[in-house]
Amino acid sequence: MQDCVENDRRAQEKLYRHFFPLMLSMCRRHTNDQEAAFTIINDGMLKVFKNISSYNFKGSFEGWVRRIVYRALSDYYRKENKYLKFLVFEEKEKNTSQNALAGLYYEDLLQLTQSLPDKMSKVFHMYAIEGYNHKEIGDHLGISDGTSKWYLSEARKELKAKIAIQNNQAAKG
C-alpha cells in the first residue's frame, strides 16, 4: 500500500486489478449498464488512489475501498440527475419497487434506512449499499447467514411500506 501512496503505477495497477472484480460485482447490483459500471469503478478507484494516504488502518481496507466506490456510484447518479434506481431489491419485487422509488432521492433513502432498527439498518446497508454477501455480514455482526437474510427481508418490507407512505403523502400534497 505504501507504494500506492508514493504513486507507483505498478502497485496502483495491482491494487486496481485486485479490487476490480469485487467493485464490478457491487456496481452490477446497482446498474445493468456495463459502461456506467466501468466509469463508476474508474472514478472510485481514482479517488482511492488520491486519498489512500488518509486510510488510517481502522476497519478493513476492502470496506474503505467499497465505501469510496459506492460514493462514486452515488455521485454518478446524482451527476447524471437520475433518480435513485440502483437500490437492490429481489427480481420479484423489482417492478413495484422501482415504481415506488421513482420520486425518491438518495438523501431521502438514507434517511429512511436510518429510521430502521439498528441491526436491520446495518444488514441492509452492508448488503445493498456496500455489497457484502450474507456470510460476510454474518461474520461481521456475529449472526448466522439465515438471520442476515431475515434482517434484509424485513428491512425491505419496512422500506417499501415507508416509501409507499411517502408516495401517498406526496400525491396528496
In total, how many domains does the chain have?
Answer: 2
Q: Is residue 119 part of a domain?
A: yes
Same domain, 66 and 114: no
- State pTM to two decimals: 0.50
Q: What is the pLDDT of residue 107?
A: 60
Cβ atoms of 84 and 151 within 8 Å: the answer is no
Same domain flag for 113 and 65? no
Residues 52, 1: contact at Cβ < 8 Å?
A: yes
**113 domain-assigned:** yes
Answer whether residue 147 shows pLDDT above 80.
yes
Q: Tell whether the model's pLDDT for residue 81 goes beyond 80.
A: no
Tell me if 128 sits within 8 A of 29, measured CB to CB.
yes
Domain hosting residue 15, numbered range:
2-79
Same domain as 107, residue 61? no
The CATH number assigned to the domain holding 101 equals 1.10.10.10
How high is the pLDDT of residue 5? 86
pLDDT at 34 over 50: yes
CA-wise closest residue to 5 among 44, 41, 45, 54: 54
pLDDT in tens, 94-146: 444 444 444 445 566 777 788 889 999 888 888 877 777 888 899 989 999 99
Using the structure block, give the residue that is written with the C-alpha cell 457484502: 132
Mean pLDDT confidence for 19-35: 86
The answer for 60, left when phi > 0, alpha when psi is -120 to 50, beta otherwise, is beta
Q: What is the pLDDT of residue 99?
A: 45
Q: Is residue 164 part of a domain?
A: yes
My answer on whether 71 and 112 are in the same domain is no
Q: For residues 161 and 173, what is the distance between their CA atoms, to the nearest angstrom? A: 18
At 165 the pLDDT is 80
If asked whether residues 68 and 126 sit together in one domain, one would say no
Q: What CATH number did the domain enclosing 74 receive? A: 1.10.1740
